[in-house]
Amino acid sequence: MTQSVFSDIDPATKTGTQLATDLNNFKDSILSSHLGTSSPSYSVEGTLWMDNTSSNLVAYVEDTGSDDVPIFQIDATNNVARVAIDADEDSYIVADTDDEIDVVLSSSVEYTFKTAGVVAPGIYLGGTAAANLLDFYEEGSWTPNVTAAVGTAGTFSTYTGTYTRVGNLVTLNCYITGSNMDYTNFNSYIIMDGLPYNPAADASGAFGSGIIAGGLSATAIVRQGVNDVFLTSFAISGVAHNDSVFTVTYRV
């Protein structure tokens, strides 16, 4: 323990040797930031001291109520400082790697702040119940794969898919290109799989809309528990077109 302080100096009783000893001990105490396993007996409001109970040093400051408030902790293994630590030292903020800051709660990294954004397990909106937790967001592409085409005319050449998932809802977009594309009868349809996420087995189905060709309205249906989208129309446009698009949202 490197904690020492001297009482008021009385020049009438304090010898030079005694004074030198007191000052040298106090110098060591200052240089080590009052290092020890407990708060110095002489600490007062504002005293800063270091706890070396473990290999990770913890800095404390005494408040007005004679309580030791943790300020930061030195991670001796990674040579970084942890700040805003709690009483049992398992929750804190720490610099992870270059340009990254971690928020650790109960010894687990819960949030990571990066230059590109924040990595988090989720966020509660409008409350703190499970129903208020938004814990998933993703954007990406999917590859539509046609498994059936009935009553189509012309050439349907390329299928380009993108999607956005927010929570348990997925919104699909698909852009189709070709030449002279059209539906030939009232029961024409196209089925394609390759959805990025399987639809919920207990869902009642999802419906979307789109334009197949020449202004022809279409209906896109995602069936419960089936990884495909059923694209159908109940009219004939009579006007061939070279591109089409549809959007549909379903639950996972």
Q: Could you list the pLDDT tens digit for every one of the 252 residues in the chain?
A: 577 777 778 888 888 898 888 888 888 888 888 888 888 888 888 888 888 888 888 888 876 666 888 888 888 887 888 887 777 778 888 887 777 888 888 888 888 888 877 777 788 888 888 888 888 999 999 999 999 988 877 778 888 999 999 999 999 998 888 777 767 777 788 899 999 999 988 765 565 555 554 455 678 888 888 899 988 865 555 566 777 788 888 888
**Which of 84, 106, 134 corresponds to the end of one domain?**
134
CA separation for the pair 144, 177 (Å, rounded): 12
**Which of 101, 134, 167 corresponds to the end of one domain?**
134
Same domain, 112 and 214: no
| Domain annotation covers residue 178 | yes
Q: Is 132 helix (H, G, I), strand (E, B) or coil?
A: helix
Same domain, 188 and 237: yes
Locate 67 and state its tokens.
């309580």
The number of folded domains in the chain is 2
User: Where on the phi/psi map is residue 34: left (φ > 0), alpha (ψ -120 to 50), or beta?
Assistant: left
Same domain, 177 and 144: yes
DSSP state of 246: E
Same domain, 129 and 147: no
pLDDT value, residue 206: 62
Same domain, 217 and 235: yes
Same domain, 40 and 145: no
pLDDT value, residue 198: 92
Same domain, 28 and 110: yes
Same domain, 123 and 156: no
- The domain of 80 spans 16-134
Identity (one letter) of the amino acid at 37?
Answer: T
Locate 105 and state its tokens.
């709660």
Same domain, 225 and 125: no
CA separation for the pair 71, 83 (Å, rounded): 6
**Which of 134, 149, 170 corresponds to the end of one domain?**
134
Same domain, 240 and 223: yes
Q: What is the pLDDT of residues 95-136, one digit of tens each?
A: 877 778 888 888 888 888 888 777 777 888 888 888 888 889
Instruction: Enter the pTM of the model.
Output: 0.62
| Domain annotation covers residue 11 | no
pLDDT value, residue 64: 64
